[in-house]
Amino acid sequence: MTTKLNSFIGVFTGGDSASARSRRLKVVSYLILGSLAVFYIWPLIMLISTSLKPLTEYLKDPAGLPTAPTLANFAEAWELANFPQYLLNSAFYTVTATAIFIVSSLFVAFPIARDYFKGSNIILTLYVIALFLPPALIPQFQLILNLGLYNTRPGYILLFLINPIGMIIIVNYIKSIPRELDEAAAVDGASYLRYVLRIIFPLIRPAIATVTVLHAIGIWNEVILPTIYLTNADLYPITRGLIVFQGVYGNNWPGIAAAVLMLMLPLLILFMFLQRYIISGLTAGAVKG
């Protein structure tokens, strides 16, 4: 395992004994990792340190560490930026849209995976095709506008009720559940609805978790669609709120940094617990080809 694939860098390290070479390899590896890591850790440290500085100190010395750390920026951003409302909006959009999407997809995915009726394969193909079609941006806007849903919560949620990749992941996972299980349940007299919700749903939890997390993160992070569809500040999700806040308090970077950290925290917590599902979702299908 140690030498597996260190080949590429190993090329640059020449002959000598195996142990000397492997030591040198490690040094080179850490040098590369370390110099890259600087650009991942330093911006984060800057963000934290800026958020802890009073504005006056920040203006004098933007890059230094805070001399007298304060949490005042967090309190200020919380109130000034109407944060509680935005967070609540973001949470509402994310939870509602994800829940509707997951439940409706489950009932689309199951009959397709089982090929229950003619044309079920065509439906799946239509989901795949969407990945290659032009963006829906403009007609989608016209649709929402003409339905009278512009600048409303339902209109905004409507945009997030679909996710072709998520659907394909669920279909593929259901296919791995043996059909014998369906037969046994049918013989026992289970109804379709009950079977899908009570037996299949728990069995495909890994796929559901992956799709849920990816879909939810996508909604939480979305900034373009709220810019297009929401003009009423009371409806803003946190991302849009933050961009507007940044526009208004352009030079108050301590306040902005505090706000960014508050937006980041839920994502980091989610990531800590669900890392496995996030990564498996992003690499799904990538390895088998």
Q: How many CB atoms lie within 10 A of CB 260?
A: 18
- Going from the C-alpha of 239 to that of each of 81, 122, 212, 223, 261, the distances in angstroms are 11, 37, 20, 6, 12
The answer to whether 108 contacts other proteins (rule: CB under 8 A) is yes
Alpha-carbon dihedral sign for residues 90, 91, 94, 97: negative
The answer to whether 92 contacts other proteins (rule: CB under 8 A) is no
Residue of the chain from 7, 17, 35, 56 that contacts other proteins (CB under 8 A)? 7
C-alpha gyration radius of the chain: 25
The answer to whether 232 contacts other proteins (rule: CB under 8 A) is no
> Total residues at the site for other proteins (CB under 8 A)?
111
- As measured in angstroms, the least distance from the Cβ of 74 to other proteins is 15
Question: Residue written as tokens 């996972």?
Answer: 173
- Rounded to the nearest 5°, which phi and psi values hold at 246? -65, -40
The answer to whether 56 contacts other proteins (rule: CB under 8 A) is no
The answer to whether 257 contacts other proteins (rule: CB under 8 A) is yes
> Who contacts 102 (Cβ-Cβ below 8 Å, separation ≥6)?
208, 211, 212, 215
Q: What is the C-alpha separation between 119 and 176, in angstroms, rounded?
A: 21
- Range 29-48, binding other proteins (CB under 8 A): 29-30, 32-33, 36-37, 39-44, 46-47
- Range 209-228, binding other proteins (CB under 8 A): 217, 220-224, 227-228
Options 70-78, 84-92, 203-211, 265-273: segment touching other proteins (CB under 8 A): 265-273
The answer to whether 122 contacts other proteins (rule: CB under 8 A) is no
The answer to whether 19 contacts other proteins (rule: CB under 8 A) is no
Closer to other proteins by Cβ: residue 182 or 212? 182
- As measured in angstroms, the least distance from the Cβ of 79 to other proteins is 19
Q: What is the C-alpha separation between 213 and 100, in angstroms, rounded?
A: 14
Options 68-76, 88-96, 158-166, 202-210: segment touching other proteins (CB under 8 A): 158-166
Residue of the chain from 183, 198, 205, 233 that contacts other proteins (CB under 8 A)? 183
The answer to whether 115 contacts other proteins (rule: CB under 8 A) is yes
Q: What is the C-alpha separation between 235 and 223, in angstroms, rounded?
A: 13
Q: Per the structure block, which two tokens stand in for 75? A: 């309190």
